[in-house]
Amino acid sequence: MKKYIPLFFLAAVFAAGCKSNMDYDISEGFDKEMTLFENEISVPLGSMQPLTLALVLDKVYSTSIGAMLKDFIKVDADGLLYTDAADNVSSNSVYDLVKQIPDPSKEYQWTPYNMTASPGGGTFMFQFVGLPLMNQELTFSMVNPLYNSVELNADAVVSAGSYSDKKELRNFKLDSSEAVQLAKFSLGEVVNERIGSFGLENIKMNLPANITDNLRSKAHPMFVLSYQYKANIAAGKTLKFEEMSIPVKDLNLPVGQFGLSHLEVNVELENTLPFDVAVPFVQVIKPSDDDPDDFVEDENIEVETFIDIQGGSLEEPSPSSITLSINAKEGKIPDIYGFHLVANIKASEAHAQTLLSTKQGLTVKSADATLKGGITLFKYNKEGNDNE
Amino acid sequence: MNKSFILIAAALLSAVTMGAQSFSEGFLLKDYYRISSDNPAITPDHDYISIGEFRSNVRNNVGAAAFLYPYEGRVVTALHSSVSAQKFADGLKPVNAFDGGIKYNLVSYGIARGKNFHTFELNARAVYGVSVPYDIFKFAKLGSSETPLNLEAMGLGAKMYAELVYGYSRKIGDKLSIGARGKLLAGLYGADYSFNRFDIETGVDAYTATIEGNLNLTSTSYKIHPDENGILSLTNLKSKGKLGMPSGAGLALDFGVEYTPVENLVLAASITDLGGLLWYYGNAGASSGEISFAGVKDMAITDFNENGLKKITDDLKNQALEAIKLHSVQGKTKFEMLQYQVNAGVKYSMPFYKALTVGVTGRYMYNKYTPYWDSRFGIAVNPLSWLDVTGNIGYGAYGIVWGAGASVRVLRFRINAMMQNGFGGTLPYSSIPLLANNKVLTVGLTYDL
């Protein structure tokens, strides 16, 4: 029997060596929950083309209310924003004029009253909100309803605040035409006040004899004085929107499934808009239990921000760094319904009076995001003993 | 990652093998004649013929327990939050490799002529392996905080070659025997994909991967034709109708010595597989490039939608594919060393019961990523004239190891079976080792002439 003892020993070693460990039994599956990048994962987000005024205007114009602004805010070939207006200053019917002429068979010197007006349309609105009008141009034109030329003497005047200018029209030959340009005023960048009034003064017009025989059209023959006004829109020193509440609702970011605890986004911006933008306050929001249309702060999430963007210009872009940090107060960041931002926007002191251009905007030069606490996938579901 | 993925990976793990060794068992067994393939000096005193011995060696320097953990009554992966990064790291190696080999002895013929012994052998051998660097797991577990990642060690490969062996041993006096074997090697198939450089730098500014990879693939049987851009297309294979023709040639030598200083005491030492093969890789390819991901580049606000993001990922994917595309390069020859092995042992047959032998063996097996050694104490007993049994226990590169073997004689036939393994256990219902392990299985048949 002794000779078999070594065999028993060998059999025992063999059995021990081939033993399975049932603690590792995966024949019925295993828990697939995984947390990746436990320390942190930082990823470059890259750069973006500018968020320009052109894009903003397109967005605004696409709304029903914004579409109305299209008549007031226009874009020239260089991308500069401008507003314009055109209207008649005075319309004088030839038939009414004939009634004033003592002897229609003779030439007559007509000396009507001054023809003056103010720019119409919505031009007043811009200064009202702190957007001064710059490079103002004003053109006077007149309709001569006769076949004959008419000699005109007048003073074309324009005033804008303390600024005033006058062009003397002497023996001006008003040709037979629907639109004869009489005078053009270009106020340039030195005049910051909106044109308040303009017109023709001291008017003297030498009308031909038998004036009604020289009409180009018998229907409504009129001497019409009209103006065309155009001005660029600039950023004004007084522009200031403070404590603007901007709720961004219905985002419904499904981040809860990833079990994040900390998310930080850093962005390097370049600003060519002549506005300073600060966002001193951001909070994550959720729908209110009392009123689904209202929102309340999501108390599970804390947001830290440093958003202070200095104004710039196309010639002198202003670099800025902004940081947005989102932390779970306890546990993990749940799904995010939306954000509530409070923003302050004011004209940049360094770039006040800069003309607004559709090329101006905010450019993300670079951005990165850092996640801390890992990304959890396939969350274990205790009830179902399976992964979601 | 799912169960099937793990099982496939584990099956691969258990399938890959390398130059097999059963010296520790064969040395102690009295009637294992094929020990001459482990030590050419040890030969029987009569002729024999052996047919179809199969040896398989499976080696993994990490086990399934490095990736799976019991937790609250279930099994979780290493990426579960309950598994600390340190614990995960402790279970891994700088390069995690699964290597292996198969040696199939088609025929072995031994001729005893007095003090001389001649051996003729024809073997088919295969070696293959997969290596995965630690940095991949480190990135998945910890993230981008530790950079750069060095993935140069990543690779896979397989070789198959034939061995024509002539062995000669001679007894010098009564105590000493020396032997040597010369092996003519014929490379049949060879393939590997490896990297001269594979670095990934992670940062908030950009992720940059620098890749220099090489594909070596023999071309005797199949030729991979490049497309018009010089890219090897693995779907554009054309058979050359020369199945099994050599793609390489080589030479290897084994040396052994056996010494019996006193009766019943035997000392032995050997070194095997000293040599290599000169392969010709007619399907050679190289990929190189730099993939840089710096996030989106000047993306338009209007593109910031699902389609835009898809375009970005597509661009990145195309960039990555471009970098790893294999450009056809001129066929090349490459000399590759075999994985040499060193064996040593001492055994003593008990004077009071000569059927009982005890011994100590030691060995070293070279491998780039999984060098292996162990030392064992073994006993062997042949209580019956037709039964010879051995077992051993020892310690090696992967901890405590054990081995067992048996030789059973029926008439003139001898059936040999040997196994080496570790104590780490396996995944239930599989043979996948939980810990780093070196497993050898040998099964063969000889006939005494």
Residue A102 DSSP symbol: S
Query: What is the share, in percent, of chain A residues with pLDDT greater than 70?
Result: 93
Least confident of A271-275, A383-387, B182-186, B189-193: A383-387
Q: Is B426 on the interface with A (CB under 8 A)?
A: yes
A29 burial class (0-12, 13-18, 19+ CB within 10 angstroms)? middle
Q: Is A44 on the interface with B (CB under 8 A)?
A: yes
Q: Specify the 3-state DSSP secondary structure of B88.
A: helix
Identity of residue B72: E
The nearest alpha carbon in chain B to A264 belongs to B204
Half-sphere exposure in the Cβ direction for B293 (13 Å, CA) = 22
User: What are B386's two structure tokens?
Assistant: 């037709």
Q: Is A321 on the interface with B (CB under 8 A)?
A: no
Q: How far apart are CA A52 and CA A316, in angstroms?
A: 16
Look up the ipTM and state it: 0.78
Min Cα–Cα distance to chain B from A246, Å = 20
Buried b (16+ CB within 10 A) or exposed e, A321-358: ebebbbbbeeebbbebbbbbbebbbbbbeebbebbbbb
Assign B313 a pLDDT band (cuts: 50, 70, 90): confident
Residue with the bigger pLDDT between B101 and B226: it is B101
Report whether pLDDT(B329) > 70. Answer: yes
pLDDT in tens, B354-404: 889 999 999 999 988 889 999 999 999 888 888 999 999 999 999 999 999
What pLDDT score was predicted for residue B34?
A: 86
Min Cα–Cα distance to chain B from A16, Å = 7
Q: What is the DSSP string of A172-233?
A: EEE-SEEEEEEEEEEEETT--SPP-EEEEEEEEEEEPSSGGGGBS-SSS-EEEEEEEEEEEE
CB-defined contacts A:B, below 8 A? 179
Q: Which helix (H) or strand (E) holds B384?
A: strand B372-384
What pLDDT score was predicted for residue B6?
A: 41
Report whether pLDDT(A181) > 90. Answer: yes
Using DSSP, how many helices (H) and how many strands (E) does chain B show? Answer: 5, 24
Place of tokens 């103010």: A118
Query: What value does the mean pLDDT take over residues A302-311?
Result: 90
pLDDT in tens, A78-102: 999 999 999 999 999 999 988 888 8
User: What are B304's two structure tokens?
Assistant: 């910031």
What pLDDT score was predicted for residue B15?
A: 35
CA atoms B426, B427, B430, B432: torsion sign: negative
Residues of A in contact with B76 (CB under 8 A): 30-31, 33
Residues of A in contact with B91 (CB under 8 A): none
For an interface test with B, the pick among A2, A4, A19, A20 (most B C-beta atoms closer than 10 Å) comes out as A20
What pLDDT score was predicted for residue B105?
A: 93
Q: Beta-carbon neighbour count of residue B152 at 10 Å?
A: 18
Residues 5-44 of B with CB under 8 A from A: 6
Query: Which of A10, A48, A49 faces B404 most closely, judged by CB atoms?
Result: A10
Q: What is the DSSP string of A138-160?
A: EEEEEEE-BSS-EEEEEEEEEEE
Report whether pLDDT(B280) > 60. Answer: yes
pLDDT in tens, A147-163: 989 999 999 999 988 88
Q: What is the DSSP string of B271-333?
A: EEEEEEEEEEESSEEEEEEEEEE-SEEEE-GGG-SHHHHHHHHHHHHHHHHHHH--EEE--EE
Min Cα–Cα distance to chain B from A21, Å = 6
Least confident of A111-120, A307-316, B310-319, B323-332: B310-319
The nearest alpha carbon in chain A to B67 belongs to A24
A70-233 has CATH 2.40.50 classification: no
For an interface test with B, the pick among A4, A27, A48 (most B C-beta atoms closer than 10 Å) comes out as A48
The nearest alpha carbon in chain B to A14 belongs to B404
Among candidates B439, B428, B373, B424, which has minimal Cα distance to B91? B424
Is there a contact between A27 and B428 if contact means CB atoms under 8 Å apart? yes
Q: Is B91 on the interface with A (CB under 8 A)?
A: no
Is there a contact between A47 and B80 if contact means CB atoms under 8 Å apart? no
A102 burial class (0-12, 13-18, 19+ CB within 10 angstroms)? exposed
What pLDDT score was predicted for residue A3?
A: 58
Q: Is B140 on the interface with A (CB under 8 A)?
A: yes
Is there a contact between A374 and B81 if contact means CB atoms under 8 Å apart? yes
Q: Using alpha carbons only, what angle is made at residue B88 by residues B82 and B89, rounded to the nearest 5 degrees? A: 145
Place of tokens 């009564």: B174
Report whether pLDDT(B12) > 60. Answer: no
Identity of residue A299: E
**Do A196 and A123 contact (CB within 8 A), yes or no?**
no
Q: Is A323 on the interface with B (CB under 8 A)?
A: no
Q: Is A39 on the interface with B (CB under 8 A)?
A: yes
Place of tokens 């990746």: A36
User: What are B334's two structure tokens?
Assistant: 């490459």
Query: What's the pTM value of the predicted model, to 2 decimals?
Result: 0.76
Place of tokens 């002794």: A2
Place of tokens 């050898």: B440
Q: Is A35 on the interface with B (CB under 8 A)?
A: yes
Identity of residue B65: A
**Do A15 and B426 contact (CB within 8 A), yes or no?**
no
Report whether pLDDT(B270) > 60. Answer: yes
Min Cα–Cα distance to chain A from B120, Å = 34
Q: Phi, psi (5° rounding) for residue B318? A: -65, -40
Residue with the bigger pLDDT between B371 and B309: it is B371
B191 DSSP β-pair partners: B158, B217
Is there a contact between B427 and A26 if contact means CB atoms under 8 Å apart? yes
Is there a contact between A42 and B202 if contact means CB atoms under 8 Å apart? yes
Min Cα–Cα distance to chain A from B171, Å = 32
Query: Which of A17, A26, A39 faces B402 most closely, judged by CB atoms?
Result: A17
Residue A54 DSSP symbol: H
Residue with the bigger pLDDT between B31 and A375: it is A375
Q: How far apart are CA A258 and CA A332, in angstroms?
A: 9
Assign B109 a pLDDT band (cuts: 50, 70, 90): very high
Whole-angstrom distance between the N-terminal and C-terminal Cα of chain A?
Answer: 60
Using DSSP, how many helices (H) and how many strands (E) does chain A show? Answer: 5, 25
Identity of residue B209: A
The nearest alpha carbon in chain A to B81 belongs to A35
What pLDDT score was predicted for residue A114?
A: 83
pLDDT in tens, B228-261: 888 887 676 677 666 667 889 999 999 999 999 9
The nearest alpha carbon in chain B to A9 belongs to B391
Residues 265-284 of A with CB under 8 A from B: 266
Q: How far apart are CA B346 and CA B358, in angstroms?
A: 9
**Do A327 and A298 contact (CB within 8 A), yes or no?**
no
Q: Is B306 on the interface with A (CB under 8 A)?
A: no
Least confident of A218-222, A383-387, B171-175, B180-184: A383-387
What pLDDT score was predicted for residue A72?
A: 85
pLDDT in tens, A346-357: 988 888 888 999
Is there a contact between A44 and B294 if contact means CB atoms under 8 Å apart? yes
Q: How far apart are CA A366 and CA B144, in angstroms?
A: 18
Query: Which of B2, B293, B421 faces A17 most closely, judged by CB atoms?
Result: B421
Assign B14 a pLDDT band (cuts: 50, 70, 90): very low
Q: What is the average pLDDT score of chain B?
A: 87
For an interface test with A, the pick among B296, B358, B392 (most A C-beta atoms closer than 10 Å) comes out as B296
Among candidates B280, B282, B272, B281, which has minimal Cα distance to B338? B272
Q: Is B437 on the interface with A (CB under 8 A)?
A: no
What pLDDT score was predicted for residue B73?
A: 86
Q: Phi, psi (5° rounding) for residue B197? A: -155, 135
Is there a contact between A24 and B68 if contact means CB atoms under 8 Å apart? yes
User: What are A179's two structure tokens?
Assistant: 């639109």
Assign A388 a pLDDT band (cuts: 50, 70, 90): very low
Q: Is A162 on the interface with B (CB under 8 A)?
A: no
Is there a contact between A20 and B140 if contact means CB atoms under 8 Å apart? no
Total structural domains within chain B:
1
Assign B282 a pLDDT band (cuts: 50, 70, 90): confident
Query: Which of B143, B296, B383 faces A4 most closely, judged by CB atoms?
Result: B383
User: Which residues contact residue A384 at a Cβ distance below 8 angstroms, ignoring those fewer than 6 apart?
Assistant: none
Min Cα–Cα distance to chain A from B144, Å = 5
The nearest alpha carbon in chain B to A6 belongs to B381
Give the range of the structural domain holding residue B363, as residue numbers without chain letter.
Answer: 3-448
What pLDDT score was predicted for residue B268?
A: 97
Residues of A in contact with B11 (CB under 8 A): none
Assign A315 a pLDDT band (cuts: 50, 70, 90): very high
Q: What is the CATH number of the domain that holds B155?
A: 2.40.160
Residue with the bigger pLDDT between B262 and A126: it is B262
The nearest alpha carbon in chain A to B208 belongs to A44
**Do A328 and A262 contact (CB within 8 A), yes or no?**
yes
The torsion angle over the Cα atoms of residues A68, A73, A74 and A79, rounded to 10 degrees, is: -140
Place of tokens 């033993």: A19
Report whether pLDDT(B132) > 90. Answer: yes
Q: Phi, psi (5° rounding) for residue B392? A: -150, 165
Is there a contact between A38 and B302 if contact means CB atoms under 8 Å apart? no
The nearest alpha carbon in chain B to A51 belongs to B301
The nearest alpha carbon in chain B to A26 belongs to B75
Q: Is A6 on the interface with B (CB under 8 A)?
A: yes
Min Cα–Cα distance to chain B from A67, Å = 20
Q: How far apart are CA A80 and CA A68, in angstroms?
A: 19
Query: Which of A25, A47, A371 faces B428 most closely, judged by CB atoms?
Result: A25
Q: Is A16 on the interface with B (CB under 8 A)?
A: yes
Domain ranges of chain A: 34-50+238-354+359-387, 70-233
